[in-house]
Structures are given as C-alpha cells and as structure tokens.
Structure 1
C-alpha cells in the first residue's frame, strides 16, 4: 500500500518528536518544535542528547527530503502532529482552524486584495496554521506578521513558517498590548472568544465593557481595525452569535463608525459540534478618504463544503458579486 506524502511526514515528525520528548523530558509539543527546527536547520541542535539518540534522529531525518514535498503537504502533516499533541494537553482556546475554512479565507483574501503585494497580519497566529494556509493559497507577494502570547505556540508557528519557507515576522506578546508594527493592508484572525482578564489594558479600548471583564474577541476586532491602513480589509472567523451578546450594541456601533461591512459568509452548521459553536467569516473594510461602501454586502450561507455542485453555484454567485462591486 502506498503511503501518502502527508503520512510519511507525519510519521517522521511524530517518531522524532517522541524520541526527543523522552530524552529531553519535555512536552510533546515542545519536542515537536525542536524536531521541526532540526529539520529546517539540517542538523541536530540539542547538545544534551546521547550519541545513540543523535544517530537515531540523524538516520530518520536523512530518509526525508523536504524539498520533495509541497508546502501544503508539510503544513497538513505538521498540523496533524500538533493536533495529536494538543489532544494530550487540552487547551480549549487552541482549537485549530479547519483546513477548508483556511482555504476559503485564502480565496477571499486573494479576491479582495487587488494589489500585487501587501502586508498581512494575524494577531492570533497560534501555531501559524491559518496564516500558512492562506499564504499557500495566495499568488501574490505577501509580507506577513503574526502575534501570539503563548511561548510554545509561537515556537511551533516559527517552525511551521520555516519548513514552508514563508518569511513571517513573529511577535511573542499579548496581542492586545500596543503592536509596534507598520500599518497593514489586511488582517486575518480566527478570533479567540472569551473574556480578557486585563481590565487596565482593556480600558484603552472603545469596546471595553462598562462592568466586569471585556470580551477579548471584541477587543481583537478593534485592535485589528487600528492596525490596518485606511481601506484595509479584515477577515475574521467569528462565532455566528457574535451580535447576540449583551455587549453587541457597542460592537455594532463601532463597526458602523469605523468600517464598511463587505460580507458575511455563514459556514455550514454541519462543520461544528452544535449550533451554538457555529462560525462565520466576517469581512470588513476600514473607512478612509475615498473609500466607498459596496453597493450591497456579500451575504452567503455556505452549503457543505464537500458538496461540489452547490459550492460551484456559490462561487459563481460570489464571482458575479466581485465583478459588480470590485470590478
């Protein structure tokens, strides 16, 4: 039986990570970042390994030639081993964006961004899976930036970008603290949903809660709008019930004042465990001089993404919308 390229890479990442996990007495995810770095650098960087372990690893690495694999094969295999590690060490906020959603965001970024090169920010970059999915589906010159507070996740994002040879600037910080970056042309984010514990920092935001903790997903939207150039586009993966909370009125007002709503794509409910965890893709454009709202927003209820016939119809409708609004 033929083993697929993704399976070959998964086996290598997994087996070499298990060896390092045992030898370095670290977590599986930390070991995974270490093995990815070894592969990228083409050498074994952990000096504390026994000679026997170093030989075993060297033999495994020599069996794989990364240049034979596509970026998507590398990303998928790396994503699968990260998911394996996350199952062992469950952190509810670290859910990975499904591939089909990442590809859809990539398609939308490609269609909305008319310039040949642009700057892209993911302020909730996590392991870099959404960002590298989007980069793999864009045929333009993109300089990208990722921000992540979690040390292990950003190390995984760094290795992920390196293995796929994407030049990404990464910042290990709280994304809601000031970002010391030049304004960007586009933002993508799978919004972290929940409460933001730092009330002092939240008080700098228009969307702060009047009582208690503020919603981190609201603050991420405001921070992203701040980080964008006038006319910049924002692509958010949002909970479908975003506008049903008790703080929704303020969010509505902020979005109306600062942006034009370009579109809302409701993802199929079948992708999610239940109706309450359903998500949508929300597309905004930051207001600025000479920036006009679309004639009408792109409103789409997506079918099952595996339903090729229905998806083709939707893509044709979207194509017509782009010609009428972005032509």
Structure 2
C-alpha cells in the first residue's frame, strides 16, 4: 500500500525522534525539535550522539527531500508527531487548535485582510500550528509573522516548524504580557490561553486589570494584542464561550467598546470539545481608527459540525454576504 506524503514524512519525524529520545534521555517533544533541526540543516547537529546513531539518522533523512512536499504536508506531519508527544505531557494550555478551526481562521483572515503584503502576530504561538495553518491559506500573499510564547520547548517546535515550511517568522521566547519590542501587526490570530495571570504587578499596567485578585490572562492578551496592532487592523481570537459571563467581563466589555468594533462572534460546534464548559468561539475585532467604521450589524453564527460540507458551505456564503454588505 502506498503511503500518503503526510504518512511518509511523519514516519521519518517519528522514528528519528524516538532514536534521539532514547540516546539523549530527553522527552519525545525535545527529540522531535532536534530531529526537525537536523532535517532543516541537512545534517546531524547533536555532537553527543554516537557514530552508529548518527549513521542511522542520516540514512533515515536520505529517504525524504523536503522540496518534494507541500508546506501543508510538512505542517500536518509535524503536527501529528507533536500530538503524539503531547500525549506524554498533558497540560491544558498545550492543547493544539483543531485543524478545521485553523483552516476556518485562515479563510477569515484571507477575507478580512485583502492586502498582498502584511504582518501577522500570534502572541500565544505554542507549536506554531495555528499560525502556519493561517499563513498556508494566504495564497499569493507575502506574509511576515511574529510568534511569542513563554514555553521554551513549544517555541523551539514553532521555530523548527516554520523553518521546515520555509516561513519567515520571528519568534520571541518570553512572557507575552511583559513589554514587547515588536513591529505593529496588520492582523492578530491567537488561540488564547485561558485562566488567571499570576503576575499582579504586571497586570496592574493594563486597563483591564481586575479590581481585586488575579486578572484573566485571556483578557490581558486581548489588550496586549490591541496595543500591538495598527489602527483598522483585525484580530481573530479563539475565546471561551463564557468570555462575557465572568465577574471580570464588564471591564473587558468597556475596554473593547473604547478601542475596537466587534465584527463577528462565531460559535464553534460543541462536537469539537470534550464538554460544554470547554466550548469556544471565534471572536473577530477591528481596532478603531480614523476611517474605521463599525459594521452595520455584528455577524453572529453557530457553526455546524465542520465535517458537514454542505452546512459549512451555507455558513461561508452567509459570511460572504455579510462581508459584502458591511465592508
């Protein structure tokens, strides 16, 4: 049976990562980042590996030529390997954005950001899967991007992921809610980390800060993104459905009213989530500016199960109709 390009690449990522994992006694994800680096550089760069291991790796790498694979095939196969590695360490903020959601956000960015040249920011980039999914959807456009994450393993996977797909992305390994020294973006995409931000001193520098106790990190990420996007720029967030139901919601609501126009709230199908409490939506904002007008009406929709092609088609037509009317 012939293997698909994704299976072929995944096999090499997976087998070589396991070889490195065993020899260096590291986690699978660390080994995956190392093997990705090797494939990108076309050589084995870990000096502490034995000669036999080095030979085994080189023989594996020879079986593939990255130039023969599409960016999407590379992304999907690397994503599969990351998902395998994440089963070892289950942390709630390490959940990867489902592919169907990434593709939908890519479609929306394509629609709302018609520029041929633009700068994209993901302040919670994780493994880079959402960011590169969105970039791969921008046909014939020149996209520069910035990704930020506090987790050093995730940012390394992100960096390797971008290199393998030949995307010009700048990465910063830091707390995204600390001051950022980055150029202003034309658009922001982010699957926001949900929970409380432990650093009250830093949170105090934000308009959205809670009156008492810790502030929600996902609220602070919205404000931080707004600070680093140009006037008229669009922000595409994946947010919890309960975003406006918490005790801190009134402050967030006030902040958004002052700084942005809400464009759309698209509720993702519940089938994507383990339970209703974990359910999320795509929240689209536009930063206010001199010539920026609010839409005549906000686009509200409940998205169907994303495997139901006909129903998804209808929703995309509804989005298209709304866009023509409001833009």
The yes-or-no answer on 1:138 pairing with 2:147 is no
Residue matched to 2:56: 56
- What is the alpha-carbon distance in structure 2 between the residues aligned to residue 183 and residue 218 of structure 1? 20
Displacement of 1:80 in angstroms is 0.9
Q: 1:264 aligned to 2:265?
A: yes
CA distance in 1 between counterparts of 2:95 and 2:234 reads 24
Deviation of the 1:21 alpha carbon:
0.8
2:216 and 2:7 map into 1 onto residues whose CA distance is 39
1:254 aligns with 255
Shift of the alpha carbon at 1:98? 0.2
The yes-or-no answer on 1:15 pairing with 2:3 is no
TM-score between the two structures when normalised by the length of structure 1: 0.98
Residues 24-82 of structure 1: CA distance to partner in whole angstroms, max 9, x if unpaired?
Answer: 12111111000000000000101111111100000000011111111111111111111
1:196 corresponds in structure 2 to 197
**Aligned-pair distance for 1:323?**
1.1
Paired with 2:211 and 2:60, the residues of 1 have a C-alpha distance of 56
- What CA deviation, in whole Å up to 9, does each residue of 1:274-305 have, x standing for no partner? 11111100000001111100111111111111
Unaligned runs of 5+ in 2: none
Distance 1:168 1:319 in 2: 30
- Cross-structure match for 2:91: 91
Residue deviations 1:66-107 (CA, integer Å, cap 9, x gap): 111111111111111111111111221110000000000000
What CA distance in whole angstroms lies between the structure 2 residues aligned with 1:231 and 1:106? 19
Name the counterpart of 2:152: 151
Moved more, 35-44 or 267-276: 267-276
Instruction: Report the counterpart of residue 233 of structure 2 in structure 1.
Output: 232
Q: Secondary structure at the match of 1:296?
A: coil
- Rounded to whole Å, the distance in 2 between the matches of 1:138 and 1:264 is 22
Equivalent-residue separation in structure 1 for 2:130 and 2:146 (angstroms) = 12
User: Offset at 1:2?
Assistant: 1.9
- SS in structure 1 of the partner of residue 244 of structure 2: helix
Distance 2:237 2:168 in 1: 22
Q: Partner residue of 1:100?
A: 100
Name 1:276's counterpart in structure 2.
277
Describe the superposition over 1:255-280 as per-residue Cα deviations: whole angstroms up to 9, x where unpaired.
11110001111111111111111110
Take 1:59 and 1:124, find their aligned partners in 2: how far apart are those partners? Answer: 36
Q: State the partner residue of 2:289.
A: 288
The structural deviation recorded for 1:23 is 1.1
- Superposed CA RMSD: 0.8
**Map of 2:315 onto structure 1:** 314
> 2: CA distance between counterparts of 1:213 and 1:103?
34
2:81 is aligned with 1:81: yes
Q: Distance in 2 between matches of 1:123 and 1:83?
A: 21
Measure how far apart 1:10 and its partner are: 1.1
Shift in Å, 1:116: 1.4
Partner of 2:122: 122
Name the SS of the counterpart of 2:87 in structure 1: helix
The alpha-carbon deviation at position 324 of structure 1 amounts to 1.0
Shift of 1:234: 0.3
Q: Secondary structure at the match of 2:316?
A: helix
State the distance in 2 between where 1:184 and 1:161 align: 18
Q: Distance in 2 between matches of 1:92 and 1:233?
A: 27
Q: 2-side partners of 1:142 and 1:76: how far apart?
A: 20
CA distance in 1, matches of 2:209, 2:97: 26
